[in-house]
Amino acid sequence: MDKRELNVTGSAVHELPGVLYDELKQERKGSVERYDGDGFDVIAVERYYLRNNSDQQATVIFDTTDGTTSRITILSGGGGDGLLQFNLGSHRAQTKKMANRIVELCQSDTLQLEVRD
């Protein structure tokens, strides 16, 4: 399992979960589900990884602390192979890919959000 946290600030912080969900759904790679809670959102993404011949899940939690700040936690896991559950770096790769995608979305002209690790 791998974990990464980001802090995002800006007036459009409440739009980020919906924008990310829509982008992931349009890719049509694996399954994507979203839970829209009161002050938080959860997006779960499951994809197949050839390198270890298994499915792996990434969960992205958006915890909005006020109207302009959101703490984002990305958890990636599953997908280990064999008795010792070797994942051949796929957990870290998926977490990094998701974090990079969030940073790119935040820097878009539409959202203009600031990201801090």
Considering all CA atoms of the chain, what is the largest pairwise distance in Å, rounded to the nearest integer? 47
What average pLDDT does the segment 60-73 reach?
A: 93
Single pTM value for the model: 0.86
pLDDT at 19: 95
Q: With 80 as the cut, is the pLDDT of residue 17 above it?
A: yes
Which pLDDT band, with edges at 50, 70 and 90, does 114 fall under?
Answer: confident
Which pLDDT band, with edges at 50, 70 and 90, does 110 fall under?
Answer: confident
- Residue pair 55/47 in contact (Cβ under 8 Å)? The answer is yes
DSSP-based three-state secondary structure for 116: strand
Q: With 80 as the cut, is the pLDDT of residue 84 above it?
A: no
pLDDT at 13: 92
The two structure tokens encoding residue 95 = 């977490």
